[in-house]
Amino acid sequence: MNVLHQYNLDQKNVCITTNNSSVNCQIAQEIEAICPGFCSKANAVWCMAHTIHLAAHDGLKALGNNSGDSITFTDEDSFNPMSISSLVNPTDGLHLEYNSIISKISCLTSYFHHSPQQQDKFVTTVNLVYENHKTGNANTLLSQVPTQWSSTYEMLNQALQLKDACNHFCTPEALACYWLSTLEWQKAKVMVQFLEPLYGATLLICESTSPMINQALPLYILLIKEIRQVLEQYDVAPIEPAAQAMVRKMSKYISMVLSQSPVICESILDPRIKQVFFATHESTLAEFHTSSLQLLKVFGDKEKKYVNRKDSQLHVNIEGTRGLLDKMYPSTSGEGCSFEKELQ
């Protein structure tokens, strides 16, 4: 709060990004009490990366619920080859559970990281299996991190790239429980393709040091379409509950964003988005009982309020900018010049 006062932001229209923790919700309400132009529901935007994390978490949880069990993240420090989490019940090819595949790969990864000796053995296996092929730096297995959903994608994708080495490494009887059949690897590939849109969106957001809120609505809309397209491309009925869980979560946040005028205005002002993006995704907007014209109306209403308000600071900025340009470009001064009008 002191920072808002220090930089004179308490009297400005501000927009903040938070996750859904109760502490941040409370902070937004306190800002609303001291900032006349701030509304906690309209101006507090949820973090995009956090939203994607929650959607992916719901999807992975739904995969686990298919068989009545939740997916667990094995702790490599407490790894036990004889623990119940290391044992996978045999299933036929038609009813193979996706969470069983994740569990197998996760346990194999934990075994790999259990000791330097096992890591050396696996690297040797990779070099042997891919003797005539370049694997780059992909000669290790990646672990899951409970707080980073993307680590599940990275673990599956890395194991998939080294599937032949993984199976060769698991030929000893002691490691046979981690061996995956051809059908299991095919299903692992489907999961990677299923999670890839969310992973790509996460990288897109994290690559920027200052991601803008104008990306939120287009990003959520495109993610829903990408998830649905994966389901249409492959016969993945067992994975459909996970897709539905992700779509429900993303839809929840789209509904929230559609009620936040700052996000809508920022998106329309972005030359990469404008109204054209929303016009080409009318069918998705219709699911939320809105349209590109309604979004444009929200923008128009805000524009009128901004233009009609008497903002002394804005006037000072215009006069200061005009004075500077008059010195640099005398031709812009004089009677009939419309420069001030253009700035406004």
Please tell me whether residues 32 and 149 are part of one structural domain: no
Please tell me whether residues 25 and 150 are part of one structural domain: no
Please tell me whether residues 39 and 188 are part of one structural domain: no
Q: Yes or no: say if 273 and 218 are a contact pair by the CB < 8 Å rule.
A: yes
Please tell me whether residues 17 and 111 are part of one structural domain: no
**pLDDT (tens digit per residue) in 53-69:** 889 888 888 876 544 34
Distances (CA, A) of 203 to 52, 196, 212, 285: 11, 10, 14, 25
Please tell me whether residues 22 and 109 are part of one structural domain: no
| The pTM of the whole model exceeds 0.95 | no
| Residue 230 falls inside a structural domain | no
Instruction: Using the Cα atoms of residue 181, residue 245, residue 201 and residue 64 in order, give the sign of their dihedral.
Output: negative
Supply the range of the domain harboring residue 338. 310-343
Please tell me whether residues 161 and 193 are part of one structural domain: yes
Tokens (6 digits) for 11: 């009297």
Please tell me whether residues 100 and 124 are part of one structural domain: yes
In whole angstroms, what is the distance from residue 130 CA to residue 8 CA?
Answer: 62
Query: 40: which residues sit within 8 A by CB, 6+ positions away?
Result: 25, 28, 29, 31, 32
| Residue 186 falls inside a structural domain | yes
| Residue 239 falls inside a structural domain | no
Q: Which residues of the chain have pLDDT under 50?
A: 66-95, 312-322, 324-325, 328-329, 331-344
342 alpha-carbon distance from chain centroid: 38
| Residue 237 falls inside a structural domain | no
Question: Whats the size of the chain, residue-wise?
Answer: 344
In whole angstroms, what is the distance from residue 108 CA to residue 223 CA?
Answer: 31
Number of domains in the chain: 3
Question: For the residues of 177-210, what is the DSSP string, one character each?
Answer: GG---HHHHHHHHHHHHHHHHHHHHHHHHHH-SS
Please tell me whether residues 175 and 52 are part of one structural domain: yes
Final residue of a domain: which of 211, 227, 256? 211
| Residue 55 falls inside a structural domain | yes
Please tell me whether residues 66 and 169 are part of one structural domain: yes
Instruction: Using the Cα atoms of residue 28, residue 32, residue 34 and residue 38 in order, give the sign of their dihedral.
Output: positive
| Residue 224 falls inside a structural domain | no
Please tell me whether residues 148 and 35 are part of one structural domain: no
**pLDDT (tens digit per residue) in 222-273:** 999 988 888 887 666 778 888 889 999 999 989 988 988 888 888 888 888 8
Please tell me whether residues 3 and 71 are part of one structural domain: no
